[in-house]
Amino acid sequence: MQSFANQTKASVSRLFGGAFLVVMFMLLGSMDASAQERAATGVGSRIQLMADKLGVTPYAHSTWSEGDVAPAILQAMNAMQGSIADGSAGATTMVTYLYYSRVYGLITQYDVAVEVAIVTELFEANSTAKGTVPQNQLPAIYNSMINLF
Say whether pLDDT at 45 is over 80. yes
Question: Tell me, what amino acid is at 122?
Answer: L
Judge if 9 and 33 occupy the same domain: yes
- Tens of pLDDT, residue by residue over 79-124, are 999 999 999 999 999 999 999 999 999 999 999 999 999 999 998 9
| CA–CA distance, 125 with 44 (Å, rounded to integer) | 21
- Shared-domain flag, residues 83 and 104: yes
Do residues 48 and 25 share a domain?
Answer: no
Residues 115, 77: one domain?
yes
- 92 and 129 housed in the same domain: yes
Cα dist from 67 to 33, 53, 76, 84, whole Å: 28, 29, 15, 26
Number of domains in the chain: 2
Predicted TM-score (pTM) of the model is 0.69
Provide the residue range defining the domain that includes 28. 1-41
